[in-house]
Amino acid sequence: MSSVPKRQKLDAAGDGNTSAGPNEEESDALEQIDACQNEIDALNEKASEEILKVEQKYNKLRKPCYEKRSELVKRIPNFWVTSFINHPQVSGILDEEEEECLHALNKLEVEEFEDIKSGYRINFHFDENPYFENKILTKEFHLNSAASENGDWPASTSTPIEWKEGKNLLKQLLTKPYTNKKKRNSDYKTFFDWFSDNADPVNDEIAELIKDDLWPNPLQYYLVPDIEVEPEDDDEIDDNEEEAFDDDDGEEEGDEDLEDEDVK
């Protein structure tokens, strides 16, 4: 807003002020109101900065817990691939051979950028495996102005995968017939398809599910209550997945599962 008050569009009093403009007393009051607004704006900005600092502080405090968790997770074979398979939406993009490949996933990391709002990255750490040479595959999201000085945002990037010969799962999926039993209702047909696609960084449902649902509490997916195990057969699992996607609001569904555990 400019600091000099502008003309009123309407004068509700109908006392003729419209053409003459506000009188001197009113002009003075308006200028002081404008000064008040500037004070309020400055306070709002300071409040945002302080809230950001609190978020940064707790990101740092949470970090050792997440690191400790990562070490513990390494003692459990297939922790992450099992959590992915048990996650109602993420499971929908796992091709059978990708599941096989993800057995080599020994560590998952989600890192918010220092200023939080500008973006985050997801690091997938792999054991030596028959599919590709990379030790770490990273998908990085730059969502806000502060992220990059050259203004290339919103944007996402992903590590180029160095497939071993004859093991390119993306190519195999393109050529082989669609034999996977699972119904796929996501935008992405497969995990590596999702990983490599950077066309729409802003609405990346899978990335958000990993960041806001799997990462804050994977145990709820790794461990599944007995009650859900017994009555389900393959078809029913498919139906559930379908519902979750038809809803077009997968993120919120995930949040419901977290409830008071995802207060960040």
Q: Residue 40 or residue 174: which is nearer to a copy of itself going by CB?
A: 40
Residue 36 or 174 with smaller CB distance to a copy of itself = 36
Ranges within 60-89 binding a copy of itself (CB under 8 A): 61-62, 65-66, 68-69, 72-73, 75-78, 81-82, 85-86
Would you call 205 helix, strand, or coil by DSSP?
A: helix
The residue from 21, 58, 127, 235 that contacts a copy of itself (CB under 8 A) is 58
Query: Closest approach of Cβ 22 to a copy of itself, in Å?
Result: 7
Give 84-101 as a DSSP string: HHHSTTGGGG--HHHHHH
Tell me the per-residue interface mask from 98 to 127 with a copy of itself, x by CB under 8 A, - otherwise.
Answer: -x--xx------------------------
Binding region for a copy of itself (CB under 8 A) out of 38-46, 132-140, 150-158, 192-200:
38-46
Q: What is the dihedral of CA 62, 65, 71, 72, to 10 degrees?
A: -140
Residue 117 has φ and ψ, to the nearest 5°, of: -70, -20
Closest CA to 262 of 113, 156, 46, 110: 110
Among 45, 127, 235, 247, binds a copy of itself (CB under 8 A): 45
Stretch that binds a copy of itself, among 8-16, 111-119, 170-178, 194-202 (CB under 8 A): 8-16
How many alpha carbons fall within 13 Å on the CB side of residue 6?
4
CB atoms within 10 A of CB 81: 19
**Interface map 182-201 toward a copy of itself (x if CB under 8 A):** --------------------
Nearer of residues 38 and 148 to a copy of itself, judged by Cβ: 38
- Cβ at position 46, least distance to a copy of itself in Å: 7
| Residue 41 engages a copy of itself in binding (rule: CB under 8 A) | yes
x/- map, 156-185, a copy of itself, by CB under 8 A: ------------------------------
CA distance 69 to 80: 12
Q: Which residues pair with 6 in a beta bridge?
A: none
The encoded tokens of residue 173 equal 């999926």
Rounded to the nearest 5°, which phi and psi values hold at 244? Answer: -55, -35
| 175 neighbors 55 (Cβ within 8 angstroms) | no
Of residues 205 through 264, those in contact with a copy of itself by CB under 8 A are: 216-217, 219-220, 222-226, 228-229, 260-264
Decide the pairing of beta strands 119-126 and 155-158.
unpaired
Binding residues for a copy of itself, rule CB under 8 A, total: 71
Identity of the residue, 99 or 253, whose beta carbon is nearer to a copy of itself in the bound complex: 99
Closest to a copy of itself by CB, 45 or 115: 45
Beta pairing, strands 119-126 & 136-142: antiparallel
- The DSSP annotation for 59-88 comes to HHHHHHHHHHHHHHHTTSTTHHHHHHHHST
